[in-house]
Amino acid sequence: MSSMVLVGYATRYGSTQEVAEAVATTLRGCGLEVDVEPVRKVRALEGYGGVVLGAPLFMFRWHKDALQFLSRFRKALAERPVAIFALGPVHDPHDEQEWQDSRRQLDKELAKLPWLKPATLAMFGGKYDPAKMGSLLRLFAGKAPASDIRDWEAIRAWTEGLKPIVGV
Ligand SMILES: Cc1cc2nc3c(=O)[nH]c(=O)nc-3n(C[C@H](O)[C@H](O)[C@H](O)COP(=O)(O)O)c2cc1C
């Protein structure tokens, strides 16, 4: 099998794409060959030995592009190591409750895919920018201020541990 790694991502507002690009940069720094692509655009997995899939949670669900990718490539993914990360919590990085809620939402989504055995799974803080949202969503979201709690150090540390997992 190829030693090329795919970092596939789903995103609505761009913050997960930036994390995926940082993951790809770190993996390249570890000596791996990496493609980074929105999962919507992925046509085949034949060229890849391992896959990293990243997507945000929205409205208690995982991004639909990630779920569609998993369903489209079920067979190929079951034969490859898959590392997963999700973005979810956006308020206080120390708010245990918010992190637990996001983790529960992700676990619930993944429980619907019993064939999927992620080699590793990470939840990262995300970015919240009401200025980018439509007025209806802003109304729903209330008055929470803009925030960005992506922890680039934690993302880099997690990614550095991926080489023996996805770099086959
Ligand atoms: C309208 C809206 C709904 C969200 N719903 C959830 C949610 O249900 N659970 C969660 O953990 N995070 C939720 N988030 C946080 C997002 O996962 C976070 O903002 C993420 O960084 C967005 O990724 P993107 O910029 O790649 O689209 C929500 C964010 C927005 C704007």
Q: Are 2 and 49 in contact (CB under 8 A)?
A: yes
Select from 93, 58, 69, 86 the least CA-distant residue to 6. 69
10 versus 140: the higher-pLDDT residue is 10
Residue 23 CA to residue 81 CA, distance in Å, equals 16
Cβ contact 19:54 at 8 Å: yes
Which residues' Cβ are closer than 6 Å to ligand 1? Answer: 11-16, 56-60, 87-90, 102, 105, 126-128, 133, 137, 141
- Ligand 1 atom nearest to 140, measured from its CA: 1
Q: Which atom of ligand 1 is nearest to the CA of 15?
A: 25
Sign of the alpha-carbon torsion through 152, 163, 161, 93? positive
* Atom of ligand 1 minimally distant from the CA of 9: 26
pLDDT at residue 142, as a whole number: 77
What is the number of other CB atoms lying within 10 angstroms of the CB of residue 137?
A: 12
How far apart are the CA of 1 and the centre of ligand 1, in A? 35
Dist CA 136 CA 156 (whole Å): 35
Q: Evaluate whether 73 touches 42 at the Cβ level (below 8 Å).
A: yes
**Mean pLDDT calculated for residue range 48-58:** 97
Q: What digits encode the pLDDT tens for the residues 62-113? A: 999 999 999 999 999 999 999 999 999 999 999 999 999 999 999 999 999 9
pLDDT for residue 2:
64
Q: Is 130 left (phi over 0), alpha (psi -120 to 50) or beta?
A: alpha
Q: What is the pTM of this model?
A: 0.96
